[in-house]
Amino acid sequence: AQKITQTQPGMFVQEKEAVTLDCTYDTSDQSYGLFWYKQPSSGEMIFLIYQGSYDEQNATEGRYSLNFQKARKSANLVISASQLGDSAMYFCAMRGRAGNNRKLIWGLGTSLAVNP
């Protein structure tokens, strides 16, 4: 069965430092996609970054990068130069298997607090 695990319920980081949010996944599929979303206190879900299983390079979007280690089945989100506005919940998700690949499998999230 497919599963996403986020083992850090809460994280703290000092402003301007980098932080890594962990995500491990379980799937038997060869082709899959991994996503990170941000949910600030205002409640909306914001797409951050995507990594395909066949992508050779780690995905990057501005200050966000995805540390993709396929053999270890991990897809950690790295936020560089943290800002106060990065304080939020962060969710890792995986695209469902072929034939049902319009569904996402979600982790339970990590709450990040950026300290000034």
Partner 1 sequence: NAGVTQTPKFQVLKTGQSMTLQCAQDMNHNSMYWYRQDPGMGLRLIYYSASEGTTDKGEVPNGYNVSRLNKREFSLRLESAAPSQTSVYFCASLQDALAKNIQYFGAGTRLSVL
Residues of this chain that interact with partner 1 (CB under 8 A) are 33, 35, 37, 43-47, 50, 52, 91, 95, 101-104, 106-109
Nearer to partner 1, 56 or 116 (CB): 56
Nearer to partner 1, 12 or 47 (CB): 47
Pairwise CA distance, residues 92 & 95, whole Å = 10
Residue 80 Cβ vs partner 1, minimum distance, rounded to whole Å: 22
Q: Which residues pair with 115 in a beta bridge?
A: 14
Q: What share of the chain is helix, strand, coil (3-state, %, to 5)?
A: 5, 50, 45
